[in-house]
Each structure stands twice: as C-alpha cells, then as structure tokens.
Structure 1
C-alpha cells in the first residue's frame, strides 16, 4: 500500500501533497487545483476547491493499488460532509478502534478534533466518485456559520451543546439532490472565473442537500420508500443526460435506457428534483450555455447547436427567460 502523510492546512496543500507522492500532473487556478493521474498508480482526477470558511476535494479516480492517507488536522475547519456517488473506502479516526466502510449514497457528517488523526484506505481497482466538504462550523459570525445556522440549526445547536470530548459522526440516507450536484461537477473547469463561481454554488448546494437530509432525519416526514434499484436507475439517467447534453432526449428513450417505465421516471424526477425530465434537461443546457458563451471561438448559434437547442431563436428565448438577459448581452458583459 502506498502511504501518504498529510498535515492538512488547506485543500490545495493537501492535493499538492497527494500529487507529489502519486506523481500526478497538477494545474492550479486562483482558488482551485486539479491533479490528473495516468500512471501505474491509477487514472483519474482529483479537484481541490478553496473558498472562505469552506473547502473540498472532489474525487473521480481509480487506483491501481491500495492507497492510504494519514491526515493530521492542523487547520481550523473540523466538520466534514462526505457524499459518495460510486465506490467505497475505509475510514477511521484516532479514537475509533476499527475502520468503518464509507459506501455509495451515504450522507456522512463527521467532526474531527483539532490535531486529530484520520486514516483513510482506498481499495485498488475501484472507481471512486465522491466529494468531501470541510467547513469551520464554529465561525457562527461568518458566512458559512450563518449558512449552517439557517439550514441546519438543530445540528449546530447540538454541536455547541456537546462536551469537548464528544464528536459528531452521522451516517444518513441517500440524497438524490446530492447525487445530481456531484454529477454536475464532472468536467467542470474550476480554474476559469465562471467555473469557480459555478463550483462554489455547487458545493454550497451540496452542503444544503446534506443538511436537508440530516434535518429530515431529526424531524422526519412520511414519505414513500426509497428502493436501491430505483436510485441506481435514476443515477444512470442523470449521468446519461449530463454526458450527452447535445443529444435529443425523450422520456420514452430515457426510460427504456435505464429500465423504468416513463411514468415511474417522471415520478422520480418530480419527487427528487421537483421538476419534469424535460425541464431538468433544459435547465442543465442553459447552465452549460453560460460557460460555453465565454469561449471566444464559439458564437451564439454554435452554442445553441452544441447543446441541442432546436434553433438560435428558441435558445435566445429560453436563455432570456431563465437569466433575464439575452445570450449576446451576457457574452458582451462578461468578455468585455
């Protein structure tokens, strides 16, 4: 097993340490860093994002041998939100006797003591897709502290009331919203100004989704049972849409691809995303269009065609309805 010793002061520094040991290729932006790995140790991508009071590491990678981390917590952020979309790994804090397995579609909220040591073991030949968000929940006056108070007041109150030797470790249920947000991070160029804004918005949305699941656990409402096979099929549909935005999609085609009835697929989208399949696809296309419009080599018609809009006029109408300005106005405003 390759072992990596990490004195964690920031997500960017952590990724730099990982990259040095794994001999990956590192690129950096103003508030981001990305490691691309393609050697005998593995293949894939790890993205680090650093914002005020919040940071995260996004994994989309497969290791060819077991990789172990020993992380010493030396920064001020001690509350972790972990959501695994694919794969599994072992996790252990220093006060625990045994490792426990972090599995797909588990909502993990875990508090780590200052200068505490966490051990993580990633298996070989397992595709890992997960996000680990790290926040400073004790900064109640800060932006994230207020955000936590608003979205998860019961949890923050519980954290504040505990004795110093008590630590939160919560293992929750699947969240379709979290799954969707992590899927949207795939392929995002966080080094650009627009990509950085989109990344921060996505991480805050993921944090909100995880806090919402925790709040529902504390104050549950009656709901229909969630079946693992439906979760997997919906995940398949979402990933197919994200990966083929330029193609035409119908409810019937998607249903056939993932093995659900059209009625069931529509029901799942309405239940989990509060929208229809068609509107979900259009919203994704419109969000992606803002990123493509900032690329100088693409004109508005080419962006519309790339994303599967029927024509430029329809794209212009949908964009203006969603963002309050035309694609041309957006392009001119952001390119100077």
Structure 2
C-alpha cells in the first residue's frame, strides 16, 4: 500500500503531494490543473479547478496499480468535502476511528474534521475510479453575497458556520443515481476558455445542491423505494439514458419491461424515483427537450422535427410543446431568428 501524507494549505498542494508519490506531470490550462499519470503506479488523471469564494473541485479519473491511502491532516485548510463516486469505490475514516467505512459506487459522502484531526481516504487497487470531490472553505464561502446558510437544515447549518473547525461531521448518503448524470456531464464539457470554466462551475454548484437536497431528504426520513434493488435502479437508469440517446424509437412500457426483465410496476416506481415522472411522461419529456434542441441547432422545419423525435401528429406535438414551454414551436423558432442590422 502507498500512504500519502498530506499537510496542505490549499488543494493545489494536495495535487503536488500526490504527484511526488505516484509520478506524472501537472499541466495547467484555463485555470485547470491536471495531474496526468501513465506508469507502473497509476494510469489516468486527477484534475483540480479552483473557483471564487473558497469553492473548488477535484476529479479523479484514474486507476491505481496499488492500494493508495491519503492521510490528510486538517490544518487551517480544512474544507467541507462533498464526494461522489461515479465509478469505483473508496473507504473513509477519521484518525480517531479504527474501522473504515466503504463508500460504494453512486453513494455520496460529506465530511469535515476538527482542526488537527486526520482524514483517511483509501482507494482500491486496479479499480477504475471516477470520483468527484467538491471542497468548500467556509470562511471564504460565507462572505459570498448569495450564500444564505440559514436556509440549510440544522446539521448542515452548524457545519457551514463552524469556521473555527471545532467539530467533526460526516454523512454517508444512500444510492443517488440522479447525481450520476450530472457528474458525468461535468466530465463531458468540451468548450474552451472562460466559457468552459463557467460551465464547469455551474455544474459544480448544481451537484453541490444535490448533495444538500439528499441530506435534507434523509434528515426527513425519505427512504429509497423498497420495491427496487440497487441493481434494478441501475438498470432503470440505463433505460433512461438509452431513451435520451434515441428518443425517436417506438418505446412502450410493455417493451421496456420485456427488454429489462423488470415488471411494469417496478419500472414505474424506478422512473418516478429517478426522474419524478412515469415512463410515458419521461419519454415525452425527453422528446420535447430533443425537439427544442433541434429547433435551436438545425434548419429542420417543425414537421421534420416532429417525425425525427418519434411523434406522428404535428398538432399533438404543438399542443404539448406549448403546455411545457408556454409557447408554440413556431413562435419559439421565430424568437431564434435575429434580425440583421443594416
């Protein structure tokens, strides 16, 4: 096992300390610092991006060739960490604990420690890791004009206002597949320069809000659907992704049930849990979102778009488009036409 001891004043120093132990090179572009490694210690990358007001993100997209344990000292730099593994697992414990707790794929972890405490993050050997870590330095974050932590639940409020780091806190979340889609999008942002950083920052705040929402739900005792296993929810998420990729396909509840091996009742429970919609409502939502993208980005006329996304009736499409967006497809298309100044 490789143990990396980290006493850092900022996140960039964490990246540099990891580099000392596993090698690689750190590249900087558009305020992104990326450690790229391809050797007998590890293969992949670790990306760090700082934002304003004490917020930053670390994204692990790496496979370690040996077990790696980060021993992170909680000094003056002692952020709240919001962690989500899109792929792979890891273990966590405080220095005062004897037992590590497993954080499984699609499960979240929120933690912070007392000043002079120790945090252990234990990564497995030969396991593909895609892990998002959002870090918030409280003294800076609370100075942000739009930060209103008084709206948080009692436990999180106490964590955010603990700027002197007098208390330990950890929260192991339950399965959260909704967050998976947002973390995946964080990796797939392809724009460049300032626009890229702005898009990444917006997505980071969206993921952060989902961590907080999940904590609220668990504090309120909102459970996972008891009718579904984790593996079944993962299957349903794959169905949802397939519908997004090919919205024009002729889907039906019966066909989805037969293809997935899940009952129609389980499919409905799963779609309501993951997407807050029935199967039929979700398919219609995806098609309407696809139609809006096509109107915006292509020269197809409305009739062509109707058939491209899997509808057969233009009048029905126009009706439900207006119900959803408050405007007809034709009116929406006209708004996109910008007059050329003479």
TM-score between both structures, scaled by the size of structure 1: 0.72
String of CA shifts for 1:133-168, please: whole Å, max 9, x gaps: 11134543425742x443445521466589965311
The farther-off stretch of 111-120 and 16-25 is 16-25
Match of 2:7, SS state, is strand
Q: 1:163 to 1:151 in 2, by over 3 A?
A: closer
* Residue 9 of structure 2: aligned partner: 9
CA distance in 2, matches of 1:264, 1:67: 39
* Residue 78 of structure 1: aligned partner: 79
Q: 1:135 to 1:224 in 2, by over 3 A?
A: same
Q: Tell me if structure 1 keeps the 8 A contact 2:247–2:287.
A: no
Structure 2, gaps ≥5 residues long: 301-307, 310-316
The alignment covers a number of residue pairs equal to 316
RMSD: 4.4
Q: CA deviation at 1:110?
A: 0.9
Q: 1:135 to 1:170 in 2, by over 3 A?
A: same
The farther-off stretch of 53-62 and 153-162 is 153-162
Q: Does 1:227 align with 2:232?
A: no
Q: Does 1:65 align with 2:42?
A: no
Q: 1:159 to 1:247 in 2, by over 3 A?
A: same
String of CA shifts for 1:284-333, please: whole Å, max 9, x gaps: 8699x79xx9xxxxx9569xxxxxx66xxx9xxx9xx98x9989999x9x
String of CA shifts for 1:111-138, please: whole Å, max 9, x gaps: 1223433222211111222212111345
* Residue 49 of structure 2: aligned partner: 49
Q: Report the structure number with the largest CA radius of gyration.
A: 2
CA distance in 2, matches of 1:248, 1:213: 33
The farther-off stretch of 204-213 and 170-179 is 170-179
Q: Does 1:90 align with 2:91?
A: yes
CA distance in 2, matches of 1:236, 1:209: 20
Q: 2:283 aligns with which of 240, 258, 278?
A: 278
Give matches, 1:104-123, under 5 Å. Answer: 104-123=105-124
Q: 1:134 to 1:231 in 2, by over 3 A?
A: same
Give matches, 1:21-60, under 5 Å. Answer: 21-52=21-52, 53-60=54-61
Match of 1:98, SS state, is coil
Match of 1:185, SS state, is helix
Match of 2:91, SS state, is strand
